[in-house]
Amino acid sequence: MTVTVLSEVAAGAADLSVWPASTQRLPHGGLAVGGVSLAEVADRFETPAYVLDEGEVRGRCRTYQDAFPAADVLYAAKAFLSRAMVRWVREEGLGLDVCSAGELELAVTAGFPPERIVLHGNAKSPRDLEAALRLGVGRIVIDGPSEIARIAAAVGPEGHQKVMVRVVPGVSAGGHDKIRTGTDDQKFGLSLTDGGAQHAISRVLGRPQLELTGLHCHIGSQITEVKPYLVALRRMVGLMARVRDTHGVVLSELDMGGGHGIAYRPGEPALDLTSLARRLRAELHKGCAAARLTVPRLLIEPGRAVVGPAGVAVYRVLAVKHTGEKVFVAVDGGMSDNPRPALYGVRYAPRLIGRASTAASRTATVVGRHCEAGDVLAADVELPGDIRPGDLLAVPVAGAYQLSMASGYNLVGRPAVVAVHQGSARLLVRRETLDDFRSRDIGD
């Protein structure tokens, strides 16, 4: 496809700062991502569709590798996972962090080396642990005291498994109270405050078949400031020093988790990755020097920051309804493919694509097609006043925690995932159909 790029004056002043770097304006109000027209994607693959820019994903992987050259960067699979995503992450040199046997087995069957995978989870099932041990996962992160005996028993007296202990450092950070995981009032990890983490470490060290390689913490998600990470790191280094003093064991790894915040709308803050990397390294070396502690290898686990800005959701408008002073624009997707606005009150910046409009903008609320009053994709956003059924809306920053959290509500079916790269588009994940629902329903 030949892409003709309009001048900024002709195209208007719409802000594309949160869109993939490859995004280009086309004639007649169109947009191209990865050299492919989004309107053409909608026509070829139908809507709703999730468009994933392969070049953006790979570029963000490289940015992390460059920022953290002496660390292990693990992509958090929960943000979005497919066989293609596994391949991109592997080829760019990242490790992988998974939260279930399903994510783990998909990754390994797609060719990812299991020794470069870390298994998380606050409530690991027998199947999760069986898959981890059978496939030879690199690390298992212990999240609670009962897991110590369970993992040791599954490994057996002659077995061996590397593990880490997830510590709650008592740091509150994150964009919403439902995604703050560094304090004692949530389900993850072992508390530093009440001694739970220290007790778990002692128990792990007493199990010869378990090798404690280091400590792990994750303080929250959608964090846009560096300071909370530095506070958490100081507390983790202090605990590592106490482990050395108490048990004579020097731990070789420190995993600081992820949660790196991104901008969903123009003007919103995002975490400064360069500053984070520089200040984490400095704080780690300073703290270890003060404690006379060997500097551990740093691990980090970005997910959203790798794949989120690489994704665009494309919807078709089904109806426009004027109710009093409110304008509702209903599209052919909704909370079944993106529950995040209902869960966390997330705000997006949808945009009309596929045609130019000279109408004055007006405030509208983009809603989904589902039987829930809370099925709102974007509240109180500016859209052209002449928006109508059949129009296409594109929503940027749609690559993370949308399709991975999708449901079968109303049996609508989950959308297709389409990769775009260097002017070509290909289907990664096909659309879920009524036949898929029928095949699972085996009763009568």
Q: Residue 302: is the preceding peptide bond cis (ω within 30°)?
A: no
Pairing of strands 392-396, 351-353: antiparallel
Beta strand ranges found along 192-279 (DSSP E)? 210-216, 253-255
Check if the beta carbon of residue 137 is closer than 8 Å to that of residue 108.
no
| In contact, 331 and 368? CB cutoff 8 Å | yes
**How many H helices and E strands in the chain?**
13, 21
Residue 217 makes CB contacts below 8 A (sequence gap 6+) with: 166, 167, 168, 169, 182, 189, 232, 236, 255, 256, 257
Catalytic residue, from 61, 99, 217, 371: name it: 371
Specify the DSSP element, H or E, that contains 360: none
Sign of CA dihedral 279, 283, 284, 286: positive
* Known catalytic membership, residue 371: yes
DSSP letters of 295-329? PPEEEE--SHHHHGGGEEEEEEEEEEEEETTEEEE
Residues, the chain, total? 444
Q: For residue 273, give the amino acid letter.
A: L
Pairing mode, strands 311-323 and 392-396: antiparallel
The two tokens of residue 78 are 């929960």
User: In this structure, are residues 338 and 348 in contact, taking their beta carbons and an 8 Å threshold?
Assistant: no
Question: Annotated active-site positions, please?
Answer: 371
